[in-house]
């Protein structure tokens, strides 16, 4: 499961080193950034395709992202799939925690989960929020979770 740029170029070094290089470059340019990590999944037959993104949000000036795609051959309930998405994002965030902290960069977990009970994903909202906050990250859900519900979603379909 290689990490790639949005343009499809595979990262040539470990994710943590690549992210640190980007942070240093952007900080040297006087830019403030935030890392927004989100995952979306799509059931396709007997498979679940997952896309995790790391959005480098440049405060006041757009951003760009790194992408990782994977496939799971397992049947899951909606709740289980939503928590699996959040877990994938938290795993990446945990890997980047030290470098983000070192450079004073906030990490947000963007969950493709709606708080409104009329949506099926809502059944996982409380657990996803607790899991994320328990791991020490900021939890963002729909409609504000653009890393998962816009960026990852577009790449997952």
pLDDT number for residue 17: 96
Q: Decide if pLDDT at 36 tops 80.
A: yes
pLDDT average, residue stretch 75-96: 94
Q: How far apart are the first and last CA of the chain?
A: 18
97-149 pLDDT per residue, tens: 999 999 999 999 999 998 888 888 888 899 999 999 999 999 999 889 988 88
Q: What are phi and psi of 109, to 5 degrees?
A: -100, 120
SS (H, E, C) 48-106: EEEEEEEEEEECCCCEEEEEEEEEECCCCCHHHHHHHHHHHHHHHHHHHHHHHHHCCCE
pLDDT average, residue stretch 80-103: 96
Domains and CATH numbers, the chain: 3-156 (3.30.420)
pLDDT number for residue 155: 79
Determine how β-strand 33-44 pairs with β-strand 63-72: unpaired
Q: Decide if pLDDT at 1 tops 80.
A: no
Q: Collapse the DSSP code of 38 into the 3-class scheme (helix H, G, I; strand E, B; otherwise coil) and give the result.
A: strand
CA 88 to chain centre: 8
pLDDT number for residue 48: 92
Q: Decide if pLDDT at 74 tops 90.
A: no
């Amino acid at each position: 499961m290689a990490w790639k740029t949005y343009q499809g170029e595979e990262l040539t070094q470990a994710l943590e080193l690549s992210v640190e290089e980007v942070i240093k470059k952007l900080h040297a340019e006087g830019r403030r950034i935030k890392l927004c990590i989100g995952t979306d999944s799509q059931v396709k037959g007997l498979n679940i395709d997952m896309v995790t993104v790391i959005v480098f949000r440049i405060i006041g000036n757009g951003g760009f992202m790194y992408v990782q795609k994977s496939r799971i051959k397992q049947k899951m309930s909606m709740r289980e799939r939503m928590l699996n998405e959040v877990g994938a994002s938290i795993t990446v965030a945990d890997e980047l925690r030290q470098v983000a902290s070192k450079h004073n960069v906030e990490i947000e977990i963007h969950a493709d989960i709606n708080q409104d009970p009329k949506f099926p994903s809502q059944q996982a909202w409380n657990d996803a929020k607790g899991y994320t906050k328990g791991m020490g990250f900021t939890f963002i859900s729909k409609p504000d979770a653009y890393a998962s519900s816009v960026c990852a979603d577009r790449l997952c379909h």
